[in-house]
Structure 1
Amino acid sequence: MKIENAVALVTGANRGIGRIFVEELLKRGVGKVYVAARDTTSLCDVLKSGDRRLVALPLDVTDPDQVAAAASVANDVTLLINNAGYAAFDGAISAADLDDARMEMEVNYFGPLALTRAFAPVLAKTGGAVVNMLSMLSLISLPMAATYSASKAAGLSLTRSLRGELAAQGTQVIGVLAVQTETAMGAKLPEPRLSPLEVVTDTLNALETGINDEVIAGAQTRAVHQAFVADPVKVQAMMLTRLPQRV
C-alpha cells in the first residue's frame, strides 16, 4: 500500500518504536495519524510539533470498550500498526506469579487480535494493511524472557492466520521480526541493539513494496535470522543458556 495520504493508527505511539513510526509516517506524506496511548498526556512530545495530521486517541489495547470506541472514532483508518507491547523479562518458573505472563498475553496477543477484529470492517473498505510488531523471540525461546517469548510466538501464529483470513478483502498483513532495539524495553537486553529507525524504515519500505509476509527488520536481525534458518537447534541451544538472574 502507499503511505502517502493513508490514514494510520499507531498503538503505543508515545515512545520507542511507536513514536518513530509516527515520525516516519509524517515524513512519507501520511494524511492522518491517530496516535494512541493508554494515557494521552504521555503524547505531549509527539504532539508538540502541532502537526494537524496528528490526532490523539486514548487506547488501552486490553480494554474492550476502548478498542470498540477507537474503531468507532477512527473509522477512516487504512493502516493499523499494532505496536504496543509489554515485557516482564522474567522466567516461567522464577517469576513470583503469573500476573506478568497474563499481561504479556493480554497486550502482545489479545491486543492485536482485538484491534484487528475491530478494524477489519473498516479496512475492508479500502483493502488497507495491518502491521504487527513481533520479535525474533517469536521464533526463539529466551528463558530470561520466557513468557514474553511465548506471547510473541502466539503473536506470530496469529499474524499468519490473520493474513489468510483477511486476504479475501485485500488487506495486507505484515509481521515484523526484530532483535533487541534501543528502547526502554530493549535496554534490558544485551548490546548491540538496533535503532528504532532501522526497524521502522525496513517495515515501511516493505509495506510500500507490497510485501504480505514477515519482515526481518534490521541488519542485526537478518544475521540472527540467517543463523537460525541455517541451524535452529544450535541457535536455540545458545539462547537456553541465558537464564533469569536469581536475586
Structure 2
Amino acid sequence: MSIDVQNQTVLITGANRGIGKAILETAIAQGAKKVYAAVRDPDSVAGLVAEHGDKIVPVTVDLQAPETIHDAAAVATDVNIVINNAGILRTNDVLSPEVFADYEAEHQTNVLGWLHVAQAFAPVLKANGGGALVQLNSVVSIKSFSDFASYSASKAASYSLTQALRDRLSDQHTAVVSVHPGPIKTDMAHNAGLEASADSPTVVAEAIFAALREGRFHVFPDAMAKEFESAYQSYAQSVVEAEVTEPA
C-alpha cells in the first residue's frame, strides 16, 4: 500500500520537539492539509500554531493516560496518517533495583500506549479509506543494549505488536510502518549520552514519508540504522514480512 502525505490529514504524538517536531514540519513542507499535534500540553505547540496557522491543531494525548488517546480519536475523525512518535527512555542498569519501575513506565508508554493508539485510530483510518499507522520503534527493538536494557525490551515488544498490526490491518487497507532509528539529535539522545554520534531528526521524518510513498514496512533512516538494515534485511524479508503460517 502506498500513501503520499500531500493533501492528507496527519496526527503525530510527541509533536512538540525532537523527531515529532521534525515529522510535523516535514509533513507541512510536503503538502499535508492538516496536522494534529498530539501532545501532553497543547500550549507546548503554540509556536508551531503561530508559524503554520490553522494547519496545526493541538490535541491532548498522554500515552500513559489511555482516555486521552481515545478522546483524541473522537476529535481527529478526519485523520489519514497516524504517527506514534512519543516515548520514554530510562537508563538504569539491568541489575539495578530501579530497573523494575523503569520497565513498568517504559512498557506502559512505549508498548501499551502504542497499542491504545492503534486500537483507537484503526477504526478512524478504516472509515477514511485505510490510511497509514506508523510506529517509531528503534534499532534497540532488534538488538538489546545493556545500558538501555529496559528500553530495549519495551521497544522489542512494540516492534512485535507492530508486526501483528501490519497483518491485522491489511484487510482494511491500512499501511503499517515500523521505524528503527539509531541515535538522533534529540533531548532523549542528549540525556542518554548519545548526541555526539546522532543524526538529524529530519532524516527520520523524510524517511518515514518516503517509506509511505514506496509502501515499505521497515524504515532504517540514519547512518547507524542502515548498518543494522544491511545485516537484518534478509531475515526481515524472509520471515517478518513473508507469508508465514502461524504456529499451532
Question: CA–CA distance in 1 between the matches of 2:6 and 2:161?
Answer: 28
Who is 1:196 aligned against? 201
Normalising by structure 1, report the TM-score.
0.88
- 16-25 vs 33-42, which deviates more? 33-42
Gaps of 5+ in 2: 235-248
Using the aligned pairs only, state the percent identity.
Answer: 35
> CA RMSD of the aligned region, Å?
1.5
Shift of 1:181: 0.6
- Structure 1 pair 94–229 and aligned structure 2 pair: CA distance change class (3 A): farther
Bigger helix fraction: 2
C-alpha distance after superposition, 1:56-93 (max 9, x if no partner): 00111221211111010011111000000100122222
Who is 2:16 aligned against? 14
Q: Is the 8 A contact 1:90 1:143 kept in 2?
A: no
- 115-124 vs 221-230, which deviates more? 221-230
Name which of 125, 142, 160 aligns with 1:157: 160
Shift of 1:50: 4.1
Who is 2:126 aligned against? 124
Question: CA–CA distance in 2 between the matches of 1:50 and 1:179?
Answer: 29
C-alpha distance after superposition, 1:133-189 (max 9, x if no partner): 010000011111110000000011000000000000000000001111100001224
C-alpha distance after superposition, 1:99-137 (max 9, x if no partner): 221110111111111011011111112110001001000
Name which of 157, 167, 170 aligns with 2:170: 167
Who is 1:135 aligned against? 138
Q: Is the 8 A contact 2:79 2:125 kept in 1?
A: yes
Question: CA–CA distance in 1 between the matches of 2:90 and 2:201?
Answer: 20
Gaps of 5+ in 1: 231-247
Question: CA–CA distance in 2 between the matches of 1:32 and 1:5?
Answer: 8
Normalising by structure 2, report the TM-score.
0.88
Q: Is the 8 A contact 1:180 1:189 kept in 2?
A: no
Question: CA–CA distance in 2 between the matches of 1:180 and 1:97?
Answer: 22
How many residues are paired up? 229
Question: CA–CA distance in 2 between the matches of 1:149 and 1:28?
Answer: 32
Structure 1 residue 215 corresponds to structure 2 residue 219? yes
Q: Is the 8 A contact 2:99 2:150 kept in 1?
A: no
SS at 1:110 equivalent: helix
